[in-house]
Amino acid sequence: MLVLLLSVVFYLCYSVYFYEGRWMTSAYNPRIKAQKEKVIMGTVTDREGVVLAYTDEETNERKYNSNEAVRRAVSQTLGDNESKVSTGADTFYAQYLLGFKAGLVQKLTDALSGEKQRGDDVQLTISSRLCRYISEQFPGDKRGAVTVINYRTGEVLAMVSFPQFDPMNLSEALEDEEAGALMNRATQGLYPPGSTFKIVTLASAIENLPDLPDFVFDCTGYYPVGTYSVTENTAHGMQTLSDAFANSCNTAFAAISQQLGYQMLGNTAEKLLFNTNFIFNDIVLYNSSYPIDNLSDEDLAWSAIGQGRVLTTPMHMALIACTLANHGIFREPRLLARIVTPMGNERLLPSAAGDRRVLKEGVAEQIEKVMVKTVREGTGTRAALGNGYVVAGKTGTAEISDENGVSSHAWFVGYLTNENAPYAISIIVEKGGGGGRVAAPLARKVLQKAIDLGL
Of 150 and 281, the one with more pLDDT: 150
- Residue 365 pLDDT greater than 70, yes or no: yes
Q: Which domain holds residue 394?
A: 194-334+351-453
Q: What does the alpha-carbon distance between residue 304 and residue 310 come to, in Å, rounded to a whole number?
A: 9
Q: What does the alpha-carbon distance between residue 122 and residue 340 come to, in Å, rounded to a whole number?
A: 6
Long-range contacts for 407-411 (Cβ within 8 Å, ≥24 apart)?
Answer: 407/431, 408/194, 408/432, 408/433, 408/434, 409/144, 409/191, 409/192, 409/194, 410/434, 410/435, 410/437, 410/438, 410/439, 411/193, 411/194, 411/195, 411/196, 411/317, 411/435, 411/439
Closest CA to 61 of 88, 41, 44: 41
Closest CA to 193 of 295, 313, 364: 313
Question: Per mean pLDDT, which range of 108-112, 124-128, 254-258, 398-402 is the poorest?
Answer: 108-112
Task: Give the pLDDT confidence score for residue 154 in this predicted structure.
Answer: 96
- Residue 265 pLDDT greater than 60, yes or no: yes
217, 249 Cβ separation under 8 angstroms: yes
Task: Give the pLDDT confidence score for residue 438 in this predicted structure.
Answer: 97
What does DSSP assign to residue 382?
A: G
- Residue 105 pLDDT greater than 70, yes or no: no
% of the chain beyond a pLDDT of 90: 69
52, 166 Cβ separation under 8 angstroms: no
- Residue 32 pLDDT greater than 60, yes or no: yes
Asked if the structure places residue 153 within a domain, the reply is no
Mean pLDDT of 283-307: 90
Asked if the structure places residue 285 within a domain, the reply is yes
Task: Give the pLDDT confidence score for residue 15 in this predicted structure.
Answer: 52
Is the Cα torsion angle 240, 245, 251, 257 positive or negative in sign? Answer: positive
- Residue 19 pLDDT greater than 80, yes or no: no
Per mean pLDDT, which of 112-121, 155-164, 217-226 is the most reliable?
A: 155-164
Task: Give the pLDDT confidence score for residue 103 in this predicted structure.
Answer: 63
Mean pLDDT of 55-84: 94
Q: What does the alpha-carbon distance between residue 231 and residue 225 come to, in Å, rounded to a whole number?
A: 10
Mean pLDDT of 78-93: 91
Asked if the structure places residue 339 within a domain, the reply is no
| Interval 330-343: pLDDT, tens | 999 999 999 999 98
Mean pLDDT of 185-192: 97
Task: Give the pLDDT confidence score for residue 23 in this predicted structure.
Answer: 52
Task: Give the pLDDT confidence score for residue 114 in this predicted structure.
Answer: 60
Asked if the structure places residue 120 within a domain, the reply is no
Asked if the structure places residue 156 within a domain, the reply is no
Across the chain, mean pLDDT equals 90
Asked if the structure places residue 243 within a domain, the reply is yes
Q: What does the alpha-carbon distance between residue 120 and residue 420 come to, in Å, rounded to a whole number?
A: 33
Confidence of residue 408 (pLDDT cuts 50, 70, 90): very high
Task: Give the pLDDT confidence score for residue 214 in this predicted structure.
Answer: 84
CA atoms within 13 A on the CB side of 157: 27
Per mean pLDDT, which of 77-86, 97-106, 292-301 is the most reliable?
A: 77-86
CATH number for position 385: 3.40.710.10
Confidence of residue 117 (pLDDT cuts 50, 70, 90): confident
Asked if the structure places residue 100 within a domain, the reply is no
For helices 198-208 and 361-377, give the axis angle rounded to 10 degrees.
Answer: 130
Number of structural domains (the chain) is 1
Of 26 and 402, the one with more pLDDT: 402
Of 298 and 134, the one with more pLDDT: 134
Question: Per mean pLDDT, which range of 11-25, 176-190, 283-297 is the poorest?
Answer: 11-25
Mean pLDDT of 297-309: 92
| Interval 426-445: pLDDT, tens | 999 999 999 999 999 999 99
Of 234 and 104, the one with more pLDDT: 234
Mean pLDDT of 158-166: 96
Q: What does the alpha-carbon distance between residue 411 and residue 395 come to, in Å, rounded to a whole number?
A: 6
Q: Is the peptide bond before 139 cis (omega within 30 degrees of 0)?
A: no
Task: Give the pLDDT confidence score for residue 181 in this predicted structure.
Answer: 92
Asked if the structure places residue 72 within a domain, the reply is no
- Residue 46 pLDDT greater than 70, yes or no: yes
Task: Give the pLDDT confidence score for residue 109 in this predicted structure.
Answer: 61
Q: What does the alpha-carbon distance between residue 21 and residue 411 come to, in Å, rounded to a whole number?
A: 32
Mean pLDDT of 267-292: 93
Question: Per mean pLDDT, which range of 11-20, 38-47, 92-101, 179-188 is the poorest?
Answer: 11-20
Mean pLDDT of 109-122: 76
The DSSP result for 190-259, as a single string, is: -B--GGGGHHHHHHHHHHH-TTGGG-EEEE-SEEEETTEEEE-SS--EEEEHHHHHHTT-HHHHHHHHHH
Q: What does the alpha-carbon distance between residue 83 and residue 3 come to, in Å, rounded to a whole number?
A: 39
- Residue 106 pLDDT greater than 70, yes or no: no
Per mean pLDDT, which of 8-12, 101-105, 166-170 is the most reliable?
A: 166-170
Confidence of residue 9 (pLDDT cuts 50, 70, 90): confident
**431-445 burial string, b = 16+ CB within 10 Å, else e?**
bbbbbbebbbbbbbb
- Residue 33 pLDDT greater than 70, yes or no: yes
